[in-house]
Amino acid sequence: MTERGDALNLSRRGFLHGSALLGLSAAVSVGAGTLAAPARAETPIRGGDLRLGLDGGATADTLDPALASASVAFIVACSWGDTLVESDPRTGAPLPSLAESWSPSADAKVWTFKIRKGVTFHDGTPLKASDAAATLRRHAGKGSQSGALGLLSGIEKIEEHGDDMVVTLSEGNADLPLVFTDYHLQIQPGGGVKNPNAAIGTGPYKLVTFQPGLRVVLKKNTNDWRQDRGHVDSVHITVMNDLTARISALQSGQVDFINTIDPKVVPLLKRLPTAEILRTPGKGFYSFLMHCDTPPFDNNDLRMALKLAIDREAILKQVVGGYGTLGNDYPVNANYALAPTDIPQRVYDPEKAASYYKKSGHDGPILLRTSDAAFPGAVDAAQLFQQSAAKAGIKIDVKREPNDGYWTEVWNVKPFCASYWGGRPTQDARYSTSYVSDAKWNDTRFKRPEFDKMAAEARAELDPDKRRKLYREMALMVRDEGGLILPVFNDYLNACSKHLKGFVNDIGNDLSNGRLCSRVWLQA
C-alpha cells in the first residue's frame, strides 16, 4: 500500500524508545554486508521465482518513485531501490541504509548524513553523496509532484561535503532520519533527474519488464551490497485487481502471495491446506472524508453529526471482521510514538447526532461516494453508515463509483467519499502529508493556521513530554473540527502459500513495508 488510497495506495499510506531526541544521536555504523534485521527462525533459502498476484495496479502506473501511489508501484520501487534510512519493523526506529550514520546540530536544524561507500547502482556507477543530494533536490524542488514533497518542505539547503550530505532546515526537525525512510525517496543516479523512470537503483532486484496495469518482472541483483536480502532469483508480479481472481490464483498455485484480503474470505482461505493468512497490525485506516470548505460540509455541526452517526463497532465487526481497532477521528493510533492515550473514544450516539444535525440547519439527502477501490468492504461500510445515520434522521445517499479512476476522479475531488490511508513513519509525517494547510494531499480541506503552527512547533521540539502534549492538541483539533470520519484502523490482511517463508510483520506499512520481495524466500 502507499499514500493515497492505500490498500490500494500507500503513498498517501517509529518508535524511538529511550531517546529524548527521537533518533537525533548518530546511528551506529553498520557493515556493508548486512543491516540490523529481525531475527529469523529459519535460514533463508536461495533461488526460485517469486510470483505475486497484487491488487493496486493500473495502466497509469509509473516507475518514477516520486509519483508512486499504489501497491504495485510501491513494492516495485522498494525492490529496485534503497532509501537513505530504513525503519525497524517492530519499533519504527530509524536504521542505517545508504546513509550509514547521521548526526544533528544541537537545534536539529543541520543534519550530516554519512553516505555508505562501496555501493554501486545497477548500471555499475558508484553511489556518491551527490546522488543522494540530487535525489532530495528533485523531490523537494520547485514544481515537484513528488508524494514526499510535503515531508521535505522544511529543507533550505542540501550540500555535499566529500562523502557526507549536509541538510540544512528552516526549522528543527527531530524526525528527519525517519522522513528519509519515505518510499518515494529511492536514491537514483544523478537523483533521477534525466530519467526518473529508469528504475536504476541499489536495491536487491533489477527491473526486466514493466507493463503498467499488467505485469512486472525483476531479477536478482547479483552485485547487491547487502547479503541478507533478495533471496529469490526473480520476482514476477501480475496485476490482479479482482479479489476472486487473486484467491483463485493462490488456490491453484499460480502465485505464491496475494494482497488486500477481504476479511469475509479469511475463513475460506483458512480452509485451504496450502494457504496461510498474514495479518499485520499497522497504521492504516479506513475512512470517510468531508471537504471542510465545501457546502454542506463547511458546517462543523453537520460534520459532528455525521461523526456521531456512524456505528464504528458495526464496521469493525461486519466490514473488518474484527481485524483492526476502533478509530477516533484523528489519523494516529498506538503504533505511533507519542500517540495520545487519554482522548475519550467517540461512540455511536444517534440522539446526539440528531441534535447536531438539527443545529446545523441542513435538510435533505447527503451524497456519499464509495467504491471497492477505496478499501475492502468500502461499499458495505457506506451502507452501514447509511443505516446508522438514518436512525439519527440523517439521510445519506450512497453512490457506488467505478473502481477505475476512483483515485483520480473521486478521492480528493468530490466533497464526501470513502478513502483509505496507509501509515507514515511519524506523527509529523502523518499530519504534514494531509492536514497541514498547504499539503498536496489535504483531502479534507482542513486548513487551520493554529494547527500549522502547532505542527511546526512539535516538529522542532526535542522534549518528548512537550511534544506529546502538542500532538494531543493537534489530534483533538482534527477530531473535533476536521472533516475526517475514521471508524477503524485496519490490520493488513494478505495471504501466501505455505512454502513462502520469511515474511516480516512491519508496522511501517503493508507488504512488509514494501520490502516483501527483499525479505521472503521459497521453501521446496
C-alpha cell, 68: 508512486
Place of cell 473514544: 345
Distance set, CA 72 to CA 77, 248, 451, 511, 516 (Å): 9, 19, 34, 10, 12
Phi, psi (deg, nearest 5) at residue 75: -70, -30
CA distance 68 to 457: 30
Look at residue 12 in the predicted model and tell me its pLDDT: 34
- Hey, what amino acid is at 406? Y
CA distance 159 to 167: 7
Ranges of the chain whose pLDDT falls below 70: 1-41
Strand partners of residue 488? 286, 326
CA distance 401 to 414: 11
C-alpha cell, 135: 535525489
CA distance 136 to 187: 8
CA distance 498 to 523: 9
Phi, psi (deg, nearest 5) at residue 502: 90, 5
- Hey, what amino acid is at 116? R
Residues 6 or more apart in contact with residue 268 via CB below 8 angstroms: 247
Place of cell 562523502: 163
DSSP 120: B
pTM of the model: 0.78
C-alpha cell, 201: 537503483
Look at residue 41 in the predicted model and tell me its pLDDT: 56
Place of cell 543530494: 133
User: Is 226:201 a contact under the CB 8 Å cutoff?
Assistant: no
Look at residue 462 in the predicted model and tell me its pLDDT: 79
- Hey, what amino acid is at 100? E
- Hey, what amino acid is at 159? E
Look at residue 264 in the predicted model and tell me its pLDDT: 87
Residues 446-450: contacts with CB within 8 Å, 24+ apart?
A: 446/292, 446/478, 446/481, 446/482, 446/483, 446/484, 447/292, 447/293, 448/477, 448/481, 450/477
CA distance 77 to 142: 23
CA distance 300 to 482: 8
Structure confidence by residue, pLDDT tens digits, 354-397: 999 999 999 999 999 999 999 989 999 999 999 999 999 999 99
Helices H / strands E in the chain, number of each = 15, 21
Phi, psi (deg, nearest 5) at residue 403: -65, -45
CATH class of 285-490: alpha beta
- Hey, what amino acid is at 414? K
CA distance 191 to 202: 13
Output the CA angle 368-407-57, nearest 5 degrees.
Answer: 135
User: Is 231:42 a contact under the CB 8 Å cutoff?
Assistant: no
Q: For the chain, give every domain's residue range.
A: 285-490
Phi, psi (deg, nearest 5) at residue 138: -65, -45
C-alpha cell, 18: 529511550
